[in-house]
Amino acid sequence: MSREEIKVLYYTDPTAFQIFGGAEIQMQKTKEYLEKMNGNVCVKFFDFFKDELDEYNILHIFQMRPECLSLCKLAKIKGLKIVLSPIYWPETEIWKYASIIEKMLSKIRIFYSNFKDYNYLTFKTLYPYKDFLEAADIVVPNSRIEAEVLSKEFRINPSKFFPVPVGVEGIFANLKPDFFVKKYGLKDFVLFVGRIEQTKNVLTLLKAYSNIEIPLVIIGHFNLWEHEYFVKCKGLVEHNRNIHYLGFMPPYSKELLSAYAAAKVFVLPSWHEIPGLCALEAGLAGCNLVITDRGSTKEYFKDYAFYVNPTSVECIKKKILEAYEKPKDNKLKEHILKNYTWEKTAKRTLAAYDLALSQASQN
């Protein structure tokens, strides 16, 4: 392996690509654009059965899943530099409000009777976040605010963080609505794209839509771990003629791209987004954007979006109607094109790799 060559293994939760989402797209696109940009960078998704850690110099881990920690520690022992994309936001609020998780917590508390407050029993006590952050040579969160939250919450030196914003494909700037309009007979609707799960706050969105006459199109599969939640959402959909659930559409498929172009408003009232790849795609496609005020959304979308409190049905309803009344313009589209492309993500990621390897040469 020559000194100039950078060989990187990508790794995440082994079940990740079975429940496809934004983190998987981030991995794929970062790999794709890194290899397009620099012929001396080789990126491979880690294969337990074939790959030898000794043949690589960087292990890049996406998300701080417990299943990834043993490989992280082994790679560290073998001398690989660890780059970590945490894709993290505190779960305190959703733990407080989400009924399914509350039921799970009530059972766990039977065994942990000494815990008196939510703050003692959260993902921090169940997930080894601090272990990952301490093992990493460079942490590459998707935003400055995510870096600040991680540094403060887990007491990690700010110098370890190197924010790398995520991006979007340029094709979203020039989409046509015809295919979707012809197939479904819908245009200028409100669109939601994402998994049907608690984190995305779909049930609250559906409740907010009880007296809105504008069509709402929902695209996405349900989280396999949250079937009960999906059943509740489906019940509300079936009793509202203005809501159209179309199921899953593959990323970058003709049908999904056309849906973005046909919509007037894109809504994502999640408990948090960091920042929501679908929101970037919709914004670049020209949709007016209604999005949660939790997470890194304001860092990305500035004053070009309508922000909602995910706990408030009335706030979500009000902002959807405001966004629908507002004429479309190109301000958000131009902002995204200028600041958030996968080419920029790749350049920043390569700088992080160079920084990690330069630290290795100094030690």
Q: Residue 154: pLDDT above 90?
A: yes
Q: What is the CA radius of gyration of the chain?
A: 21
Q: Is the pTM of this model over 0.85?
A: yes
Spatial CA neighbour of 241 closest among 279, 209, 285: 209
In terms of average pLDDT, the best of 38-42, 123-127, 232-236, 260-264 is 260-264
Mean pLDDT along residues 199-211: 94
Residue type, 181: V
Strand, helix or coil for residue 359: helix
The yes or no reply on domain 6-95+125-166+342-362 and CATH 3.40.630.10 is: no
Size of the chain in residues? 363
Q: Before 141, cis peptide (omega within 30)?
A: no
CA–CA distance, 147 with 141 (Å, rounded to integer): 6
Please tell me the CATH code under which domain 170-339 is placed.
3.40.50.2000
Confidence (pLDDT) at 362: 47
Confidence (pLDDT) at 137: 97
CA–CA distance, 133 with 120 (Å, rounded to integer): 20
pLDDT band for position 104 (50/70/90)?
Answer: low
The residues, any chain, with a CB within 8 Å of residue 294's CB and separated by 6 or more, are 89, 93, 270, 271, 272, 273, 310
For residue 270, report the phi and psi dihedrals to the nearest 5 degrees.
Answer: -60, 165
Our CA angle for 140, 268, 123, nearest 5°, is: 50
Please name every residue paired with 139 in a beta bridge, in sequence order, or none if there are none: 84, 161
pLDDT band for position 91 (50/70/90)?
Answer: confident
For residue 141, report the phi and psi dihedrals to the nearest 5 degrees.
Answer: -65, 165
pLDDT, tens digit, for every residue of 39-58? Answer: 789 999 999 899 999 999 99
pLDDT, tens digit, for every residue of 3-50? Answer: 478 999 999 988 777 777 788 999 999 999 999 987 789 999 999 899
pLDDT, tens digit, for every residue of 314-355? Answer: 999 999 999 999 999 999 999 999 999 999 999 999 999 999
H helix or E strand, kind and range, residue 234: helix 227-238
pLDDT, tens digit, for every residue of 277-321? Answer: 999 999 999 999 999 999 999 999 999 999 999 999 999 999 999
Q: How far is CA 328 from the centre of its chain?
A: 25
Q: Residue 2: pLDDT above 60?
A: no
In a 13 Å sphere around the CA of 196, the CA atoms on its Cβ side amount to: 25
Confidence (pLDDT) at 226: 87
Residue type, 202: V
pLDDT band for position 191 (50/70/90)?
Answer: very high
Q: How far is CA 306 from the centre of its chain?
A: 19
Strand, helix or coil for residue 164: coil
H helix or E strand, kind and range, residue 313: helix 313-325
Please name every residue paired with 145 in a beta bridge, in sequence order, or none if there are none: none
Question: DSSP assignment, residue 28?
Answer: H
Cα-based distances in Å from 146 to 44, 90, 139, 154, 351: 26, 10, 11, 12, 19
The residues, any chain, with a CB within 8 Å of residue 138's CB and separated by 6 or more, are 81, 82, 83, 84, 160, 162, 352, 355, 356, 359
Q: Where in the chain is the domain with CATH 3.40.50.2000?
A: 6-95+125-166+342-362, 170-339
pLDDT, tens digit, for every residue of 105-152? Answer: 555 554 454 444 444 444 444 568 999 999 999 999 999 999 999 999
CA–CA distance, 6 with 43 (Å, rounded to integer): 8
Cα-based distances in Å from 98 to 166, 312, 313: 28, 14, 15
Confidence (pLDDT) at 131: 94
CA–CA distance, 1 with 6 (Å, rounded to integer): 9
For residue 306, report the phi and psi dihedrals to the nearest 5 degrees.
Answer: -100, 120
